Structure 1
Amino acid sequence: MGKFISHVQIPVKNLEEAALWYITNLDCTLHANFGKFAIIGFKEDKTHIFLWQSSDKESSTFSVNGEPFPSIGFQVEDMDELCRKLSEAGVKVHGNPQAPPGEEGRRFLKFFDPDGNMLVAHTI
């Protein structure tokens, strides 16, 4: 039986640019680059993200009743800092980044990487 999630995988058009984007904007660490895919991750997380170079016009974003949903979500300690950083980088955001906390008391921010993969950050 399974024990934990070891990795998730998302498609990217340019592997070098995508890896740099995740390192620069989300403070990810590059663990390995194999030419066709790279392994990145958050410093405090054992789950890896595999970035796969692909010429297909796909992303990991999916829809539920026409609403886009992310395939990867992660926690942040300082949502305001992330919002500032992404805004300065010109990152496409879905929804209101300054929205008040939801019912569970957490703030959420949905945004897209340069390849159209939607991600969601949330406070603890």
Structure 2
Amino acid sequence: MGKFISHVQIPVTNLVEAAAWYSTYLDCTLHANFGELAIISFKEDKTNIFLWQTSDGSSSTFTVNGEPFPTIGFQVDDMDALCKKISEAGVKVHGDPLAPPVEEGRRFLKFFDPDGNLLVAHTA
């Protein structure tokens, strides 16, 4: 039986640039770069994120009834700081980055990495 999620995998077109983007905008730590695979993680999480370099144009984003959905969601302590940071950087956002929606008492912000992978940040 499974105990926890050890890693998730995200396709990227440029491994070095993707690792730098996740470090810059999401404060991830780079643990290793093996050429076609880089391993990163959030500082307070034991789940690793595997960034795989690919040239086939794939992304981890999927749709439900035409609406894009992320495969990875993560909790943030300061949604306003994240909104400001990605808005100022011109990161593609699904919705209004300065007024993320509130659902079930939590704020959610969906945005894309440079390779079109949709991510969602939320408050506790």
Range class of TM-score, shorter chain = over 0.9
Structure 2 residue matching 1:18: 3-state secondary structure: helix
Tell me which residue corresponds to 1:77.
77
Structure 1 portions without partners, runs of 5+:
none
State the secondary structure of the residue aligned to 1:107.
strand
Q: Which residue of 1 aligns with 2:54?
A: 54
Query: What amino acid does structure 2 have at the position aligned with 1:42?
Result: F
CA contact (8 A) 2:38 2:51 kept: yes
Q: TM-score, normalised by structure 1?
A: 0.97
List aligned pairs for 1:83-98, cutoff 5 A: 83-97=83-97, 98=99
Give the structure-2-normalised TM-score. Answer: 0.97
**Mapped partners of 1:88, 1:79: distance in 2:** 14
Rounded to whole Å, the distance in 1 between the matches of 2:101 and 2:62 is: 25
Identity %: 80
Separation in 2 of the partners of 1:80 and 1:21? 19
C-alpha RMSD over aligned residues: 0.8
1:94-105 residue pairs with structure 2 within 5 A?
A: 94-97=94-97, 98-102=99-103, 104-105=104-105
How far apart are the structure 2 equivalents of 1:53 and 1:100? 32
Distance in 1 (CA, whole Å) between partners of 2:33 and 2:85 is 25
In structure 2, the partner of 1:13 is 13
Q: In the TM superposition, what is the alpha-carbon distance from 1:99 to its structure 2 partner? A: 3.4
Paired residues of 2:101 and 2:109 also in contact (CA < 8 A):
no
1:67 maps to 67
**Shift in Å at residue 57 of structure 1?**
1.0
Q: Secondary structure at the match of 1:84?
A: helix
